[in-house]
């Protein structure tokens, strides 16, 4: 596709248990792929450690969250570990219209809601190599109590049983390999025939017009066609 054309875009959901590597993969993609942006969720959870307001999350009160939810401002929302999380609808729709792949780092509940409300979304589930490795990763953070870690491990087993509902499953043995696999998924999805043709790209890809892949009523006027 021509470099000045708007590329096919879609929401890319990354799910997996805490410690599977979702945040690390998302950061790598944002640093590597310029047409990728992060969907910033609203949450009632206080920010942790180095998290930055408006970049990692938007912190709002429970009352404000419920008001926005009832107005239909969230594409999906969920209660996770006692806190509410929601994906704002307007920024996601605006960014995909501009040709940006929008990353959503959300849990299984949210991913299934996205699947119902946006059939164009691509769902990727990240798994740790084993429960033992997951346990080591969680304990290595030194941020949660033993009680919280045990609760997360129980939740991880439950979440991983839902992976068959996703489009792709990646076992994160090695972060670099996993990141490149997600990037390959993104590129392949961008070149799916339905996505390319849905853009009505007669201006940017004349060959589609020449061979008749662009419907007659969507063809550009003769004086606008590339010479």
List the CATH number of the domain containing 29: 3.40.50.300
How distant, in Å, are the alpha carbons of 15, 83, 131, 169 from that of 143?
Answer: 21, 17, 19, 27
The domain in which residue 33 lies consists of: 11-191
Angle formed by the axes of helices 175-190 and 22-32, to 10°?
60
Classify residue 168: in a domain, yes or no. yes
Q: Kind of pairing, strands 83-88 and 41-43? A: antiparallel
Domain-located, residue 224: no
In the block, tokens 């992976």 appear at: 163
Residue 124 lies in a domain: yes
Is 4 within a domain? no
Name the domain count of the chain: 1
In a domain, 137, yes or no: yes
pLDDT, position 42: 95
Backbone angles phi, psi at 63, to 5 degrees: -65, -45
151-168, pLDDT tens digit by residue?
888 888 999 999 999 999
Asked whether residue 213 is domain-assigned, the answer is no
Average pLDDT over residues 64-72: 96
Residue 136 in contact with residue 27, Cβ under 8 Å? no
Residue 45 included in any domain: yes
Does residue 5 fall inside a structural domain?
no
pLDDT tens digits along 185-213: 999 999 998 888 877 655 567 787 778 77
pLDDT at site 153: 86
Strands across the sheet with 122-127, in order? 36-38, 101-105, 11-15, 122-127, 168-171
């Amino acid at each position: 596709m021509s470099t000045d054309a708007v590329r096919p875009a879609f929401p890319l959901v990354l799910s997996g248990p805490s410690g599977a590597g979702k945040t690390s993969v998302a950061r790598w993609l944002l640093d590597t792929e310029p047409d990728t942006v992060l969907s910033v969720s609203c949450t009632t959870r206080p920010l942790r450690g180095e998290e930055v307001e408006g970049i990692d999350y938007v912190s709002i009160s429970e009352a404000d969250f419920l008001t926005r939810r009832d107005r239909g401002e969230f594409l999906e929302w969920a209660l996770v570990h006692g806190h509410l999380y929601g994906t704002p609808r307007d920024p996601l729709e605006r960014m995909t219209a501009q040709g940006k792949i929008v990353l959503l780092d959300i849990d299984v509940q949210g991913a299934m809601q996205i699947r119902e409300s946006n059939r164009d979304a691509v769902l990727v589930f990240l798994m740790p190599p084993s429960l033992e490795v997951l346990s080591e990763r969680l304990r290595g953070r030194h941020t949660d109590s033993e009680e919280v870690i045990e609760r997360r491990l129980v939740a991880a087993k439950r979440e991983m049983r839902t992976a068959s509902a996703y489009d792709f499953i990646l076992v994160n043995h090695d972060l670099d390999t996993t990141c490149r696999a997600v990037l390959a998924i993104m590129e392949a999805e961008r070149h799916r025939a339905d996505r390319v043709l849905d853009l009505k790209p007669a201006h940017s890809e004349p060959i589609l017009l020449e061979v008749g892949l662009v419907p007659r009523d969507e063809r550009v006027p003769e004086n606008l066609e590339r010479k």
